[in-house]
Amino acid sequence: MSEATTSIRPAAAPCDRGVVIITVSDRGAQGLREDRSGAELEAYLKDHGYPVRRRALVPDEIELIAGELRTAADQIGAGLILTTGGTGVAPRDVTPEATLGVIDRSVPGMAEAMRAASLAKTPHAMLSRAVVGIRGRSLIVNLPGSPKGALENLAALLPALPHALAKIQGDPSDCAAVEGEKV
């Protein structure tokens, strides 16, 4: 190959295998709080061409969160799994622990990108323990529980998301060629 003709090759669809959104909230699971984050993430994803296949709501319990993550990756086969909630430093914030227990590999650069984008808006972003990782051929992303924080963090990942999902699915193309560099 000589030079790529586009700066970034667009994916046929951002995520052919669909998205699962898992809201982690004790109060939400008890019916005491509306799941605004899950609803706003679903609308945002649909606006950006990502089909949402399922939404779930679970309490802040490691095994229940891990079970939903395994179901989304292994049974549903979602290409992208988003959690919202449980990423802070409160005693019941255990989403990162549940995620670390089910992923095969971590993607620390994506978590760092979310924190960097959030730090530009609030110093509280440094309290985020969100992780991003891969289970099989699914990308799992921990997002904050607030609708605003969840959307801002997802927006920080959006430019790299199609490429990340394609590579996780086994796209054999040369990354340099995809990004328009000489190869």
Tens digit of pLDDT for each residue in 53-108? 999 999 999 999 999 999 999 999 999 999 999 999 999 999 999 999 999 999 99
Residue 9 lies in a domain: no
Bridge partner list, 52: 19
> What is the Cα–Cα distance from 183 to 112, expressed in whole angstroms?
29
Residue 6 lies in a domain: no
> What is the Cα–Cα distance from 126 to 35, expressed in whole angstroms?
24
Tell me, what's the pLDDT at 14? 63
Angle at 178 between CA 74 and CA 132, to 5 degrees: 35
Q: What is the span of the domain harbouring residue 85?
A: 19-178
Residue 183 CA to chain centroid, in angstroms?
31
Q: Is 170 exposed, middle or buried (0-12, 13-18, 19+ CB in 10 A)?
A: exposed
> 36 pLDDT exceeds 90?
yes
Tell me, what's the pLDDT at 174? 76
Number of domains the chain is built from: 1
Query: What is the end-to-end Cα distance of the chain in Å, rounded?
Result: 6
Residue 2 lies in a domain: no
Residue 13 lies in a domain: no
CATH number, position 42: 3.40.980.10
Residue 170 lies in a domain: yes
> 157 pLDDT exceeds 50?
yes
Average pLDDT over residues 48-57: 97
**Structural contact between residues 139 and 80, judged by C-beta atoms closer than 8 angstroms:** yes
pTM of the model: 0.89
Residue 3 lies in a domain: no
With H, G, I as helix, E, B as strand and everything else as coil, classify residue 23: strand
> 10 pLDDT exceeds 60?
no
Residue 10 lies in a domain: no
- Dihedral of CA atoms 18, 174, 136, 48 in degrees, nearest 10, equals -20
Residue 1 lies in a domain: no
Average pLDDT over residues 2-13: 37
